[in-house]
Amino acid sequence: KNSAKGNNSTITVIGLDLGTTFCSVGVFHPGSGEVEVIADEEGRKSIPSAVSFTNTAVLAGHEAVDLADTNPQNTIYDAKRFIGKIFEPEVLETESARYPFKVGHPGAEFVISTNHTFTVSPEFIGSRLLLKMRKMAERQLGVLVNKAVISVPAEFDERQRNYTVRAANLAGLEVLRVINEPTAAAMAYGLHKVDVFNVLVVDLGGGTLDVSLLNKQGGMFLTRAMAGNVVTIRVPLHLHTLDSSEGSTPPVLFQAVITRKLFEELNEDLFQKILAPVETVLAEGHLEKEEVDEIVLVGGSTRIPRIRRLIREYFGKDPNTSVDPDLAVVTGVAIQAGIMGGSWPLQVSALEIPNRHLRKTNFS
Ligand X SMILES: *[C@@H]1O[C@H](CO)[C@@H](O)[C@H](O)[C@H]1NC(C)=O
Q: Does 52 bind ligand X (CB under 6 A)?
A: no
Per-position x/- string for 57-86, each x denoting binding to ligand X as judged by CB under 6 A, each - no binding: ------------------------------
Q: How many whole angstroms separate alpha carbon 330 and alpha carbon 47? A: 12
Q: What is the DSSP letter of 301?
A: G
CB distance 321 to 201 below 8 Å = no
Residue 318 appears among annotated catalytic residues:
no
CA triple 47-361-21, angle to 5 deg: 10
Name the amino acid, one letter, at 258.
Answer: I
Residue list 203-262, contact with ligand X (CB under 6 A): none
Catalytic residue (one of 36, 155, 181, 294): 181
Per-position x/- string for 308-337, each x denoting binding to ligand X as judged by CB under 6 A, each - no binding: ----------x-x-x---------------
Query: Rounded to a whole number, what is the largest CA-CA distance in the chain?
Result: 68
Binder to ligand X among 57, 86, 194, 242 (CB under 6 A)?
194
- Helical spans, DSSP H, in the chain: 62-66, 89-97, 122-141, 158-170, 181-188, 238-245, 252-266, 268-284, 305-315, 328-340
**Nearest approach, Cβ of residue 262 and ligand X (Å):** 29
**Nearest approach, Cβ of residue 196 and ligand X (Å):** 8
Binder to ligand X among 210, 294, 326, 352 (CB under 6 A)?
294
Instruction: Provide the 3-class DSSP secondary structure of residue 16.
Output: strand
Residue list 105-134, contact with ligand X (CB under 6 A): 115
CB distance 76 to 103 below 8 Å = no
C-beta closer to ligand X: residue 142 or 190 = 190
Q: Summarize as ranges the residues that interact with ligand X (CB under 6 A).
A: 55, 115, 158-159, 162, 189-191, 194, 294, 318, 320, 322
Tell me which residues are annotated as active site: 17, 80, 181, 203
